[in-house]
Each structure stands twice: as structure tokens, then as C-alpha cells.
Amino acid sequence: MRRGSVIGPLILIGIGGLFLLRNLWPEIPLVDIIAKYWPFVLIAWGGLRLIEILMWAIMSKPIPRNGVSGGEWMLVFLICIVGGSMYTARHYTTWFPAGRAWHGVMMDFGDSYDYTLASVEKPCAKNCRVLIENFRGNAKITGSKDATTVNASGRETVRSFQQSEADKANKETPLELIQQGDQMIVRTNQDRVSDRIRTTAELEITVPIGSSVEAHGRTGDFDIQTVNGTVDISSDNAGVRLESIGGDVRVDLRKSDIIRAIGVKGAVDLKGHGQDVELQNIEGQVTVAGTYTGQIQLSNLAKPLRWEDTQISVNCEKVPGQIHLGLGEFTAENVIALRLNARSRDIQISDFAQSLELTLDRGNIDLRPGKNIPKIEVHTHSGDLELALPEGSKFDLKASTDRGEVHNDFGSPLRVDENERGATIVGGSGGPQLRLETGRGAVTVRKASADETTFPDTPKPIKQ
Amino acid sequence: MNDASYNLVQAIRGPIMLIALGSLVAMDYFGVYGFGRTWPVLIILFGVLKLLEKVVARPIAQDPGPSGGSAI
């Protein structure tokens, strides 16, 4: 007799559910989620089958000879191939089944050997250009007022099968400073050794404060402080932390866990893929073109912000306060002339000035303008609108829903015009135009109380 | 009794291996331990489960005496 297992139907339900999710909420990064969480399908499968078998055993029913049949192992193998490939394709790693994992299998047969790199120092101009080439490892670059030289020192880790091989690799990869005109090249020579050996370096580099820094890395973090020139970083995978930079900053990464810049006098230009972004006290224009999936915190930006993402586009003249972007949410406080366009976001904005323009496909919008209400234009296809207006302020409001309820908690001079399915709140005392529209959802207009100028859950600025 | 527990040990081997495989890959993805470091656990686990099977099965294996062509 062939007993039915619950696993088959569950897998069908799961696949159907995933497709439904994709159809109903296309903005959910389903591929990313599947690519990262597919191993849990194996765990759940194994767990359910284990429970099933134990239940059969307790109820003294016949137990199948194999808990997981040959065909099922084939399916597991397929899931591993597909899941591993998806994980690889999303830049998480380099090769199946767990990318890092397979490379790790090769490398972990070896041992790791540590060496101290002989410190090198060379005089250079006050505004010299420091170039770090083809670097693998972490580098800390600090500008110093008194320095008239570039000084580099650090440690190197070699992963290899034999100590003699590691010693040889260490000899082949000396730390060098090469002067070419105004340019000082910091060379680790890591590309000289074969692929079977992996060398990484931890460098501490001191440069004159007027220097510019250009770094090209493969993997590893860059930590740059107190440099008055420009900073230009490109890497396959890096965390970047910048503090007190006098010039422009350009960061282009294929993958990153964090990009943090605090105190930049020039413009900031970010490109590529990554997770968290923290920008604070930026005096130049901020331009971001890429995909950042983590927590994004922007505060005190003196010049315009241009953020272009596949999910959201934000343009803002100035951010004296802060903006926070997380998965499916956007919170801002004290922003000037904000224009936002997104597919799906819940939006909370307080204390904004000059103008506000929001266009959404889907999402709830909660607005709390300050005392001086600016011109507001909001369109969403689906989502609730809530507007809290200070008492006694001047405005000319028209807030409508095509399908849904309206609540006029503000009272006079606003009035409600109801139609067949939707309704409109209109009225005002003359002043800036407030135009809010939702295709489907509730509209609420109410009086703002004195203590709610900002949203309580707006994160605090990063501590310096 | 022994027969039943022998079957049980044999049957749960697949699911346990599956859970272990999923856990190791998940651990790698979440940066706990690389699969490159942890994969021998799968071999060890398989060995342990095989051993357990032998331990449970031993009394039965001795009972039928010489196996194979003895049925003739």
C-alpha cells in the first residue's frame, strides 16, 4: 500500500502561494527571498517527513524503507542546483552550491599563515594622489596634518597548503610604494601569486591631509578618515566607511554590506548594489543610482539629493532633517521640496517645506506638514491617506478617494462631497493648494496636535 | 520490536540528512559557518546513522543464522 505523504501537496500549495504573491504584490523581492531562504525548504521538508515517520511509528503503521526516496533525493538535488544558482546570480557569492562554500572547500584544506608586512614610506606632495591597486583585504587610510610622506604598514594572511608555499607567496607579495609624478601607488602585489593561494592584507596607510585617494579592490573594507582631496573607491565587495572628507566622494561597488559617509564637503556619488547606506552631514550634492536593500539613513544633506533605485526615486532640494528608507517604508522629517515616485511604499513625512509631490502605485501615506503648509500633490492608486493640518493654518484642500471612505476630523471650513463609491473633502481658507488622490482607500483629514510634529519612529541620526 | 526500530532508524536517515543539509547551507548563507568548513558533518552524521542502524539490527541479524542460500 502506498501511503500519501503531506509533503507533495504542501509543495504544490507553496509553489501556488509564491506565484500568487508575485501576482498580487509584484514589488516584493521574491527572487531575492527565494535565493536566500531556499535551504529552509529542505529543513522544513526533512522536519515534516521526520514527524510523519514518527507518527506512523507511534501508530504502529508500516514505515517506509526509505524516509526519503530516490526520486525525492533527485528533487532535492534539483532544488540545490536551482537555489544555489539563484543565490549566485544575485551577487551573493561566486559559485554553486553555496559559492563561498565551494571555494571554501578548496581553501579550507589549507592553513592560514600570518606575516607582518615591512613598513614602507616615501615623501610626496601635500596634495598627492594615493592609488591602491587591485587590493584584497581591509585598508585604513588616515590623513594627517603633519605628514609629508605616505606611510604604509600592515599584516598579510596567506592561505595555503604548505608553509613553504605560503612563505614563497609572502616573499612574492611585498608591500611597495611607487611614485609616478604626483601619484603614489600602494601596491600589494597580491595578483602575483597563483589562484590556489589566497592572500589578504590588513593595511594602515597614513597620507598627507591634502591627498586624494583612489582604491580598486576585490574584496575587503575601506576605512578612510580626514582626507581633504577626493575619494574614489571601486570594488567587487566592500564595506566603505568615510569620515571627514574634504573633496568629492565616488563609490562604485558590486556588493557591499555598508556604505557610511559622515562629514563630506564635496558631492557624494554612489553606484552599484549593496545593503545599508548611511550618509550624514554632506555639503555637496548626493547622487545615488543603484540597488540598496538594507536600512538607508540620510541626514543633514545641504545640497540636492537624487536617489534613483529600481523601487523608488527620490528628489529633494535639501534635507536639513533626515530620511529613512527600509523595506517597503519611507520616513522623512524636515525636508525641503521633496518629489518621490515609488511602486509600493508606506510613507510618513513630517515637517516638510516648499513643496511635496508623491506618486505611488500602492501604499499608505501619512503627512504632517509644519506650521507653514507647502503645496502638496499626492497620487496613489491604492492606499489610505492621512493628513494632519495645524489649526488656523491657510490652505486650499481637495482630498478625494474613488473608492473608500472619507473622514473630516478637521471640521470647518472643510466639507465632504460624497459620490457613488468615493468622496471628496474640499475647502480651505485660501493658501497653498493641497491635492490628494487615492484610487482606493480611506482619506482622513484631522487637526494636528502640538506635540506631533515628527514621527516618533523616525530613527535618530548616527552618532559620530 | 527490533525489526520496527530497525525500520524506524532506516526511515529517519533521509529526513535527518535533509535537515542537516538544509541547515548547513542556511548557516553558510547567514554567515555563521561556511559550508566549506561544515560539510564533513554530513559524512559524520551519515556514519552515525548507519552505525545506529547496525546497533539496532544486530540481534535480528544473528537470529536467521546463515543467510542467503539457506532457504533452499
Q: For residue range A194-224, what is the model confidence (pLDDT) as tens digits?
A: 766 778 899 999 999 999 999 988 888 999 9
Residues A76, B8: C-beta atoms closer than 8 Å: no
User: Closest Cα to residue A127, out of A211, A226, A224, A230?
Assistant: A211
Determine the 3-state secondary structure of A354 from DSSP.
Answer: strand
Mean pLDDT of A295-320: 92
Mutate to test the interface with B, among A34, A38, A50, A86 (most CBs of B within 10 A): A50
Residue at A431: amino acid letter: G
Cβ contact B36–A42 (<8 Å) = no
* Residue A297, Ramachandran bin (φ over 0: left; ψ between -120 and 50: alpha; else beta): beta
Q: Which chain A residues are Cβ-neighbours of B31 within 8 angstroms?
A: none
CB A36 within 8 A of CB A88: no
Residues from chain A contacting residue B21 (CB–CB below 8 Å): 39, 42, 46, 76, 80
Q: Report residue A464's pLDDT band, with 50, 70 and 90 as the boundaries.
A: very low
In one-letter notation, the amino acid at residue A197 is I
Q: Is A92 exposed, middle or buried (0-12, 13-18, 19+ CB in 10 A)?
A: middle
The rounded distance, in Å, linking the Cα atoms of A325 and A312 is: 10
Interchain contact, A41 vs B29, CB within 8 Å: no
Per domain, the residue ranges of chain B are: 2-61
* A66 contacts B11? CB cut-off 8 A: yes
Q: Give the cell for residue A211.
A: 591627498
Does B7 contact A63 at a Cβ distance shorter than 8 Å?
yes
pLDDT digit string, tens, across residues B15-35: 999 999 999 998 888 877 888
Distance from CA of B42 to the nearest CA of A (A): 14
Of the residues A5, A36, A38, A49, the best mutation for testing chain B's interface (the one with the most B CB atoms within 10 Å of its CB) is A49
Phi, psi of A236 (to 5 degrees): -75, -35
Collapse the DSSP code of A41 into the 3-class scheme (helix H, G, I; strand E, B; otherwise coil) and give the result. helix
Convert the pLDDT of each residue in A256-282 to its tens digit: 999 999 999 999 999 988 999 999 999
Alpha carbon B42 to chain centroid distance? 10
Question: Number of A:B CB contacts under 8 A?
Answer: 117
Does position A20 have pLDDT exceeding 60, yes or no?
yes
* Residue A224 three-state SS: strand
Residue A93's pLDDT is what?
45
pLDDT band for position A97 (50/70/90)?
very low
ipTM surpassing 0.85: no
- Give pLDDT tens digits for A349-396: 998 888 999 999 999 999 998 878 899 999 999 999 999 988 888 889
- 3-state DSSP helix/strand/coil % of chain B, to nearest 5: 80, 0, 20
Residue contact A53–B8, C-beta within 8 A: yes
